[in-house]
Structure 1
Amino acid sequence: MFFVRKRLYEAVAAVVTFSITIGVFLLLSRHVPVWTAAVTALLVFGASLWSGL
């Protein structure tokens, strides 16, 4: 039971991390060039992974 719950939490964390990254990209892509939005989204993704989210 513990391993199932741990895998579920890891899956939820992965979905949240990717959702934040995609949200940042979509928000910024309307106001700045696409490459700038992509680089910023990658930085946010790296920071999310580094923080353990």
Structure 2
Amino acid sequence: MLDNPWVVIPLLIALYLTVYTFVKRVDGDKWRLVWAVWLIVIVMMLTIQLVQSL
């Protein structure tokens, strides 16, 4: 399932929008923490995808 970019990309967009709407209700410091964690998760997922495709 996660090998297919047509599945992964819409999932990431949906998660991004979910986090974005949640973040609108949260103050600045928590906002930065959420985004830092989120970026790390996305980078890790993309790295795993690349490693598996090699």
| TM-score normalised according to structure 2 size | 0.49
User: Which structure exhibits the higher relative contact order, with contacts defined as CA atoms closer than 8 Å and separated by 6 or more residues?
Assistant: 1
Larger Rg: 1
